[in-house]
Structure 1
Amino acid sequence: MNPQLFISADLGHQHLFSFDLESIMRLEGVRNYTRFIPVKGQPVITCRSLGIYLERLPQQFVRVHKSYVINSRYILGINPHSHSILMTDGTSIPISRRKRTTIMRLLGKSR
């Protein structure tokens, strides 16, 4: 059985979600909210910051920008010209300037 991540989301009432970590493609943060984007299914929004979840995720999850944490298993490619990562769902995720060199080195080694 794959490792699970349990999150609480307020959908008018508290609801507990269980995600198989392998099924999470990325997390997107906006202020104190985090959106979980699964490979299949609907996104889930929680009222906790991205940093809270980053501490609980394994190494395959990489923070590439202040607003994005990606699951490195779903990287299709890296565009060095636009400083972005192309995910398998076609989404382009920006890489922050501060993290660019480290991320390019890290992801380059894992390819």
Structure 2
Amino acid sequence: MTNDPNYTFIKTDKKLIKLSFDDILLIKGLGNYVEIFVRDNKKYIYYKSLKDLIDKLPNEFMRVHNSYIINLKRVDYIEDNHLIIADHKISIAKSYRECLINRIDKLLL
């Protein structure tokens, strides 16, 4: 899978929008929809569940809560049970914490 592009397209507001995976900060679940937060304080509503989305995203994306998928490349810091990405503070759910810590351990210098 080395030829995978580093972008995708989503359909929102009757438009197909090209999104670079690097620009995605986090994805928040809203039932059958998700809110995709990107750089420059933009966000898009997309008709897809978090469960369907996580399987299609590259490895740097990780579920940290029932309602959130985050881009590990965009995490500013982790404090207690929260991740900070830009001006978003996201709770880390107990069920996802160990997996997150294991991923971060591999990235430590």
Higher mean alpha-carbon deviation, 49-58 vs 25-34, is at 49-58
Give percent identity, aligned residues only.
24
What is the total number of aligned residue pairs between the two structures? 104
- Secondary structure in 1 aligned to 2:95? coil
- Secondary structure in 2 aligned to 1:57? coil
Unpaired runs of 5+ residues, structure 2, are none
Hey, what does 1:70 align to over in structure 2?
A: 70
Hey, what does 2:16 align to over in structure 1?
A: 16
Q: TM-score under structure 1 normalisation?
A: 0.84
Q: Distance in 2 between matches of 1:99 and 1:54?
A: 14
1:103 CA displacement: 1.2
Q: TM-score under structure 2 normalisation?
A: 0.86
Q: Distance in 2 between matches of 1:97 and 1:3?
A: 30
Deviation sequence 1:56-100 (CA, Å, 0-9, x none) = 1110011111111111111111112xx11111x131111111111
Unpaired runs of 5+ residues, structure 1, are none
Hey, what does 1:6 align to over in structure 2?
A: 9
